[in-house]
Amino acid sequence: MKKKINLKSKVVEIVSLVALAILAVTYLVMMGDRLSPYMLQTLLNQTIITAVVSTGAVFIYTTGAFDISLGSAVAVSAISGAMVYNKTESLFLMFLTMIAVGLLIELIDSALAAFLNLPVFVTTIAMLSVLSALVKIMIASGGGAKIEVPRAVVKTLDSVGLKVLILVVFIGLCIFIYNYTALGRREKFLGGNPICAKLTGISVKKLSILAFLIAGVGVGLAAFLTVVRAPTITTSTASSIGMDVIIAIVFGGMPASGGARSKISAALVGSVSMVLLSQIMVILNFSAGISQCVKSILFLAVVTLSGLKGRKAMLTR
Amino acid sequence: MKLNKLAAVVLSAAMAGSLLLTGCGGSGNGGSGTEGGSKVDASDISDYGINQNVKIGVLASDLSTAEALSFRAYYEEYLGSQYDVDFIYSEQLGNAEEEISAIEQFIAQGCQGIISLSSFDRPGQIDLCESAGIYYGVAAGVLTDEEQKAYEDCEHYVGAVGPSLETEYQTGYDMAKYFIDKGDTSFLIFAGAAAFGTEMHIYRVAGMFEAMCEADASTSYNGATEKDDIITAIYGDLGVNADHFSSDTFTVSAVNGYNMDDAWFGEIAEKINTPGLQAVLAVGNGSDFFGSMAPEGVEVGSVDTYAEGYLNAMENGQLDYMAGKFSPSIAPIFVAVINAINGVPLRSDGSAFMIDQGYWIATNADEFKTFLDSSSATNPVYDKEILDQYISTPENVVSYSDFESFVSAYTFDDIQNLK
Amino acid sequence: MKTGKSSIAKRLLGICTIPAGTILIFYIICAFRGIAFFETSNHVLIFFRSVATVTLTTFALSINLDSGRFDFSLGSIALLASVVGSTITLNYGLPPAAMLVITLIAGIVLGAFSGLLYVLLKLPALITSLGVTLLYESLVSIISGSGVSFGTQPELTQFSKGIPNMILVIVIALAFMYIVMNYTKFGFHYAALKDGQKVAVDTGIKEVGNAIGCYAIAGAMMGMVGYINATLTGTIQASLDFGSIGAMFVAFLPMFIGGFIGRFSENHFGMVLGAVTYAAIQLGFVRLGLSSEVQSLVSALVLVGFLIYLNNEHTLAALFTGKKKGGA
C-alpha cells in the first residue's frame, strides 16, 4: 500500500514533465520533415520572455502570493529603457534602466504590502491599473502611438547566444538562491506555514520584499528581451505576460499556495509547454474558440493531476 | 531516416543562411517579374495554389469581430475550396512581439507566403519575412509612406492593398458631408482608437472636421482649419477634445477609446443623450455601441464591414450610413502573393506596390443587402473566375498594370464589369 | 440613553461618511465647473445602472473571496450567460422576460459548474477559475462567433433603460443576500466555514454543498450583470485570452468600503453603499468629461489609499492622537 502511494506521488510529481514530453512529441510528429534548428530557435524566442518573468515570479508564488501586474511592469520597464536609449543612445544605460525600473516597481508593490499591511493580491491588482495607465501616458508623451528603439541598433543583440546566456545565467542564479541558500529555504518555509515561519523569527517583510525584487530582475530582463526582439513598443506590449506567467507556472507544476513543493523548474517547464501547445493549435488551425477550449481542458487536466499529491481533506483555498 | 536527417540539415543550413541576411539593402531587384512579366520565362512559372499545395500564414490581430470572421470565412471557406491552398491563421495577436513569434511559427511550418492583417509593427514583419525568404503582403491596410519607401525594394515584400490614409480621410469627410447635406449640425464623434494614435482613425476624424470647416468658415479644431493642422491637433489631443472644437454652426461632442467598461458606456450614455444631437459620426463600429442607445431621430454613421447584424441595424433605423469593407477585398493580395510564390511577382517599377482600395458606401437597406450578398463566402464578388484572370500561368503572364487596374476598380459596379 | 443616541449617531456617521462624502465632493467640483451632477434623468439612470452592476459584481466577488476563493471567471460567466440567454431567445422568438430568466438560469448553472469543478478537482479556486475563464470565453466564441447582436429589437433592450428596473435589481439582490446570509442555514454554515473551516467541517457542516451554493449565487449575480450589460447596447462581443477578467476589478473598492461600513451596519448593505460610492466617482468623471483611463487610475489609487487606511487605522489614530502604540 505504501509502495503504491509512493509510486502515485512520484507519478504526480512528474505530471508536468510528462505533459511537456507529450506536447513535445506531438509537436515533433506534426512538424515531420520540417524539423530544423530554426524550429528550436523559434521555440527559444517564444519561450524566453515568459520563462524569465516566470522564473523570477516563482519566488513570489513560493511565499503563497501572486502578482498579476507583471505584464504591465515589463511594459513600463521597456518603455523607460527605450526612452533612455532615445535620449542617450546607450544600450548599456537602456539595459540598466530596465532592470532598475523593474526593481523599483516590484519594490513599490512589495513595500506597500509589507509596510502598509496591504493584501498582496489587491495591491498587485491596483498596481495593474496604475501601470496600465502609466504605459498609455508614457507612450502618449512620445507624441504618437508607439515608442521605438532603432531596429538596426537592437538587431545586433537579437542573437541566440545572448538569449541563451541571459536565460541560463538568470535561471542558474535563481536555482542557486532557491535551493542552496537560506533565502530560498525560508521563502519555501514562509509559503508552507507563514505562522510558524514568523514564530521562528523569520522576517516576513524582508523575505517578501526580496522575493519581489528577484521577480523585478526578471521583469527588467524580460523588458530588455522584448525590446531586442520587437523594438516597437505600443500600449499592448507585454500585455499578455501577466496571465501567461500564472498559467505557465501552474501548468509547470507549481502549487498555487507555494510552500515546500514549489520548484524553479516549473517556470521553464510551463513556459515551454504553453509555447508548444500554442504551436500545435496553430498547426491544427482550429478556430480561436476551439483552440482556447482545448487549451482550457488540457490546462485543467494537467494541473489537476499535478495537484493530486497536495490534496487535503478539506477544500483548498 | 537518414534522408530525413539530411533534409533537416539542408533545410536548417538554408534557414540559418537566410537568417544571416538582414534588411533589404541591395537585395531588392524586384524579383523576376517586373512590368508585364516580360522578363519571365514561362516555363519557370510554378503552379502553387493551382496544382500544387501552398501554405499561406495569416497574421491576425483580431479573430472575433464580424469583420475578422468574414475575412477568415472568405479565405478558408471560399479560396480554400477553390484553390489548392491552406490558410494557417495565427493566434489573436496583441503586440509586435507576438507578430514576430507568429511569423517564426509560419516559417517553421513551411509557409511560403504570409498575409498580414495585423499592424503593430509592419517593418518588423517585413524584416523577418525578408530574412527568411518568405513572401509577405498586407491586406486591408497599407504602410505609411515612410515605411513603404524604406521597404519597397525588399524582394519578398509583395505589396499592400487597402485604404490609404488619404482614403481614410476622404471616408470621414464623405460621412460628415452626407449628414451635413441633410442639414444636420449637431454631432457626436466616436473617435475610437484615435486616442491611441491609430492613424486611420485620426485621418477619418480629420476628414469629418474638414467637411465641417468647409461648410462653415467659422469652424475650426484647436484653431486649425486645414487638413494637416487638424491631424496634428488630434495627435496632440490623443483623440478628440470637444472643448477644442469651435463653430458658429456646428456643435460636437466626442467619445474616445474602446474601453467597453462601465465608465465608457456611461460616457456614451451621457453623450448620446445630448439635447439636440442629430447624428453620430463613428470612425469604427457605430451601430453596436450607439445604435440601440440613440434616442429617436439620432442618426448613426459607421465605418465597419458588411455583416448580417448591421443589415438588421440599417433595416431598423439604427444605422443610416455605412462605409464598409467587403470581405473579398482581401483577395487581390492573395493573388499577388500566389504570383510571387510562383515566381512571377507583380512589381511596380521593380518595387513592392501599394494600391489604394476604398470602402463601399451604403445609405439604405437595399444597397446594404446587395453589398452583403456580394461579401459572402459562398458567392463572393471576387470569385474564382475573376481571380484566375490575375494569377499568372505559362499561358497568361499577368502584368502589374493589369493587376493595378483590377485592384483599383474596387467599387461594386466596377467589379461587376470585370466578369 | 445618551450613550445610545451617541452610538446611533456614530453608526450613522460611519455608514454615510464615505458615500455621502464622495457625492458631496463631486457635487462641489461639478458646481465649481458650472456643471450639475444630475442634470438630466439620463444621469440618474447612468448612476443607478452603475450601482446595480457594481453591487451585483461585488456580491459575486465577495461571496467567494471572503472565504479565500479567488475567482477570475466572473466576467466570463456574465458573458457566456448573456450569450446563452440571448441566443435562445432570438432563435425561438421568445419574449424579453424569457431572456432575463434564461440568462439568470444560465448564470446559476455556469456558476454552479465552476463550483463543481472547484470541489471535484480540489485545486485552489484561483487555478480552477483560470481554466473556467478560458473555457467559458471559448464557448462564447464557439456559440456566437463574434458575439450576439439584438440591438434592432427594441423590446429586448428596454430593461437597462429603466431607472425603476435598476432600483428593483439592487433591492432584490440586497434582500436576497441579506436574507440568505443572515437568516438561513446556508448563511450560518457559510459564516462558520468562513471563520473556521476546519472546526466547521469537523462539526459536520457540508463544505462542498456550501461552496457550490456560493458559486451558484455568484453565477446568478453575474448572469444578471450580463443581462444588464447586454440590454444596454443590444450587443454582446466575444472576448478571448482572458479579455473578460477586467469585469471583476470594479468590485474591489466597493467590497472593501462595504467591509468598513459593515462595522456600523450589515455587510451587504455596506457593499451597496460601496457601489454607490463607486458609481458616484464614475458619474462624476463622466460629468467632468475625464477619460475612463483617468478614472481607472484614480479608482486604483483610491483603492490603495483606502486599504492603507483600513489596514493601518490604529497606527494612524495613534499617530494623530499622540498615543503610543498599545497605549490605553
User: Quick check: B15 pLDDT over 50?
Assistant: no
Interchain pair C43, B291: CB under 8 A: no
| Domain-located, residue B7 | no
pLDDT tens per residue, range B64-97: 788 898 999 999 999 999 999 999 999 889 889 9
Nearest CA in chain A to C121: A304
Instruction: Tell whether B47 and B176 lie within a shared domain.
Output: no
Q: How far is B238 from chain C (nearest CA, A)?
A: 11
- Residue B22: the pLDDT is 39
A207-216, C181-190, C269-278, C289-298: lowest mean pLDDT where?
C289-298
Nearest CA in chain B to A156: B22
- Residue B1: the pLDDT is 39
C131-165 CB burial, b ≥16 within 10 A, e <16: bbbbbbbbbbbbebbbbbbbbbbeebbebbbeeeb
The CATH number that applies at residue B288 is 3.40.50.2300
Task: Yes or no: say if B54 and B85 are a contact pair by the CB < 8 Å rule.
Answer: yes
B388-411: average pLDDT: 95
Residue B378, class by beta-carbon neighbours within 10 Å (0-12 exposed, 13-18 middle, 19+ buried)? exposed
Give the count of Cβ contacts less than 8 A between chain A and C.
142
Q: Which residue has the higher pLDDT, C12 or B259?
A: C12
As a whole number of angstroms, the distance between CA A292 and CA C245 comes to 15
pLDDT tens per residue, range B178-206: 999 999 999 999 999 888 778 899 999 99
Nearest CA in chain C to A66: C126
A263 dihedral zone (left: phi>0; alpha: psi -120 to 50; beta)? beta
User: Quick check: C322 pLDDT over 80?
Assistant: no
Considering only CA atoms, which of C248, C255, C253, C300 is closest in space to residue C133?
C248
Interchain pair A283, B109: CB under 8 A: yes
Instruction: Tell whether B123 and B183 lie within a shared domain.
Output: no
Residue A133, class by beta-carbon neighbours within 10 Å (0-12 exposed, 13-18 middle, 19+ buried)? buried
- Residue A309: the pLDDT is 64
Residue of A144, A236, A279 with shortest CB distance to B95: A236
DSSP characters over C199-249: HHHHTT--HHHHHHHHHHHHHHHHHHHHHHHHHHHSEEE---TTTTGGGGG
Contacts of B92 in chain A (CB under 8 A): 288
What value of ipTM does the predicted structure carry? 0.85
Residue of A292, A300, A304 with shortest CB distance to C137: A292
pTM of the model: 0.84
As a whole number of angstroms, the distance between CA C244 and CA B234 comes to 30
Q: How many domains are contained in chain B? A: 2
Instruction: Tell whether B121 and B199 lie within a shared domain.
Output: no
| Domain-located, residue B243 | yes
The structural domains of chain C, with segments of one domain joined by +, span: 52-248
Which band of pLDDT confidence, cut at 50, 70 and 90, is reported for residue C192? very high
User: Quick check: B20 pLDDT over 60?
Assistant: no
Nearest CA in chain A to B108: A39
Q: What is the mean pLDDT of chain A?
A: 88
Instruction: Tell whether B202 and B151 lie within a shared domain.
Output: no
Report the DSSP pairing between strands C147-149 and C235-237: antiparallel
Instruction: Tell whether B179 and B292 lie within a shared domain.
Output: yes
Q: Report the Cα–Cα distance between both ends of chain C, in Å, rounded.
A: 26
Instruction: Tell whether B194 and B148 lie within a shared domain.
Output: no
Neighbours of chain B (3+ CB pairs under 8 A): A, C
As a whole number of angstroms, the distance between CA A218 and CA A223 comes to 8
B212 dihedral zone (left: phi>0; alpha: psi -120 to 50; beta)? alpha
Best mutation target among A27, A28, A35, A38 (most B Cβ atoms within 10 Å) is A38
User: Quick check: C325 pLDDT over 80?
Assistant: no
B156 phi/psi in degrees, rounded to 5: -95, 0
Interchain pair A289, C70: CB under 8 A: no
User: Quick check: A52 pLDDT over 70?
Assistant: yes
As a whole number of angstroms, the distance between CA A133 and CA A135 comes to 5
Which band of pLDDT confidence, cut at 50, 70 and 90, is reported for residue A136? confident
| Domain-located, residue B279 | yes
B223 dihedral zone (left: phi>0; alpha: psi -120 to 50; beta)? left
C145 dihedral zone (left: phi>0; alpha: psi -120 to 50; beta)? left
Residue of C149, C153, C250 with shortest CB distance to B262: C250
Cell 513560493 sits at which residue?
A62
Calculate what percentage of chain C has a pLDDT beyond 70. 95
Q: Report the Cα–Cα distance between both ends of chain A, in Å, rounded.
A: 29
Which band of pLDDT confidence, cut at 50, 70 and 90, is reported for residue B13? very low
A-proximal residues of C, 171-200, CB under 8 Å: 197-198
Calculate what percentage of chain A has a pLDDT beyond 90. 54
A172-209 CB burial, b ≥16 within 10 A, e <16: eebeebbeeeebbebbbbbbbebeebeeeebeeeebbb
As a whole number of angstroms, the distance between CA C279 and CA B321 comes to 34
- Find the radius of gyration of the CA atoms of chain A: 20
Task: Yes or no: say if C62 and C251 are a contact pair by the CB < 8 Å rule.
Answer: yes
C115-136: average pLDDT: 93
Residue of A127, A133, A317 with shortest CB distance to C124: A317
- Residue B26: the pLDDT is 44
Task: Yes or no: say if A178 and A171 are a contact pair by the CB < 8 Å rule.
Answer: no
B153: domain range? 42-164+327-358+380-416
A90-105: average pLDDT: 97
Q: C-alpha angle with apex C141: C136 to C144, nearest 5 degrees?
A: 115
Chain C contact present for A317, CB below 8 A: yes
User: Quick check: B291 pLDDT over 50?
Assistant: yes
Which band of pLDDT confidence, cut at 50, 70 and 90, is reported for residue A312? low
As a whole number of angstroms, the distance between CA B279 and CA B272 comes to 9
Neighbours of chain C (3+ CB pairs under 8 A): A, B
Q: What residues contact C268, with CB distance under 8 A and at least 6 apart? A: C59, C174, C177, C178, C181, C258
Chain A contact present for B261, CB below 8 A: no
Q: Which residue has the higher pLDDT, C34 or B288?
A: C34
Q: What residues contact C13, with CB distance under 8 A and at least 6 apart? A: C264
Nearest CA in chain C to B309: C149
Residue A290, class by beta-carbon neighbours within 10 Å (0-12 exposed, 13-18 middle, 19+ buried)? middle
B389 phi/psi in degrees, rounded to 5: -65, -20
- Residue A7: the pLDDT is 64
Task: Yes or no: say if A48 and A167 are a contact pair by the CB < 8 Å rule.
Answer: yes
Q: What residues contact C298, with CB distance under 8 A and at least 6 apart? A: C281, C285
Q: C-alpha angle with apex C254: C253 to C258, nearest 5 degrees?
A: 120
A109-127: average pLDDT: 86
- Residue C290: the pLDDT is 76
For chain C, what's the residue count? Answer: 328
Interchain pair C241, A240: CB under 8 A: yes
Q: How far is A46 from chain B (nearest CA, A)?
A: 6
Q: C-alpha angle with apex B68: B67 to B70, nearest 5 degrees?
A: 65
Cell 450607439 sits at which residue?
B290
A81-90, A210-219, C250-259: lowest mean pLDDT where?
C250-259
Instruction: Tell whether B133 and B180 lie within a shared domain.
Output: no
Instruction: Tell whether B298 and B174 lie within a shared domain.
Output: yes
Residue of C256, C300, C311 with shortest CB distance to A116: C311
Q: How far is C70 from chain A (nearest CA, A)?
A: 8
B394-409: average pLDDT: 94
Task: Yes or no: say if A76 and A105 are a contact pair by the CB < 8 Å rule.
Answer: yes
User: Quick check: B24 pLDDT over 70?
Assistant: no
Calculate what percentage of chain B has a pLDDT beyond 90. 66
As a whole number of angstroms, the distance between CA B385 and CA B377 comes to 15
Neighbours of chain A (3+ CB pairs under 8 A): B, C
Q: C-alpha angle with apex C104: C99 to C105, nearest 5 degrees?
A: 100
Distances (CA, A) of B359 to B142, B169, B355, B371: 14, 12, 13, 11
Q: C-alpha angle with apex B287: B282 to B291, nearest 5 degrees?
A: 110
As a whole number of angstroms, the distance between CA C205 and CA C193 comes to 8
Considering only CA atoms, which of B343, B334, B350 is closest in space to residue B407?
B334
As a whole number of angstroms, the distance between CA A172 and CA A183 comes to 15
B256 phi/psi in degrees, rounded to 5: -110, 160
pLDDT tens per residue, range B116-149: 999 889 999 999 999 999 999 999 999 989 999 9
C-proximal residues of A, 277-296, CB under 8 Å: 287-293, 295-296
B24-49: average pLDDT: 59
Long-range contacts of A83-91 (CB under 8 A, 24+ apart): A83/A138, A83/A142, A83/A147, A85/A149, A85/A153, A86/A147, A86/A149, A91/A153, A91/A154, A91/A157
Q: In terms of DSSP H, where are the helices of chain C?
A: 2-32, 41-65, 74-92, 96-121, 125-144, 163-183, 185-195, 197-202, 207-233, 252-261, 267-288, 292-321
As a whole number of angstroms, the distance between CA B338 and CA B332 comes to 10
All three cell numbers of A213? 525584487
As a whole number of angstroms, the distance between CA C229 and CA B293 comes to 12
Which of the listed ranges B119-128, B204-213, C156-165 does the model predict with the highest average pLDDT? B204-213
Reduce the DSSP state of residue C12 to 3 states and report it: helix
Interchain pair A38, B4: CB under 8 A: no
- Residue B31: the pLDDT is 43
Nearest CA in chain B to A233: B96
As a whole number of angstroms, the distance between CA A133 and CA B41 comes to 57
Contacts of A238 in chain B (CB under 8 A): 95, 97
Instruction: Tell whether B217 and B229 lie within a shared domain.
Output: yes
Crossing angle of helices B308-315 and B365-374, in 10° steps, is 170
Residue B365 burial (CB count, 10 A) = 17
Interchain pair C237, B260: CB under 8 A: yes
Instruction: Tell whether B294 and B208 lie within a shared domain.
Output: yes
Which of the listed ranges A60-69, B215-224, C121-130 does the model predict with the highest average pLDDT? B215-224
Task: Yes or no: say if A144 and B231 are a contact pair by the CB < 8 Å rule.
Answer: no
For chain B, what's the residue count? Answer: 419
The structural domains of chain A, with segments of one domain joined by +, span: 38-239
Which band of pLDDT confidence, cut at 50, 70 and 90, is reported for residue A17? very high
Residue B225, class by beta-carbon neighbours within 10 Å (0-12 exposed, 13-18 middle, 19+ buried)? middle
C315-328 CB burial, b ≥16 within 10 A, e <16: eeeeeeeeeeeeee
User: Quick check: A198 pLDDT over 70?
Assistant: yes
H or E stretch including B256?
strand B251-256
Task: Yes or no: say if B105 and B81 are a contact pair by the CB < 8 Å rule.
Answer: no
Residue of C134, C197, C304 with shortest CB distance to A299: C134
User: Quick check: B330 pLDDT over 50?
Assistant: yes
Considering only CA atoms, which of C306, C191, C213 is closest in space to residue C254?
C306
Taking the alpha carbons of B323, B328, B330, B336 in that order, is the dihedral positive or negative? negative
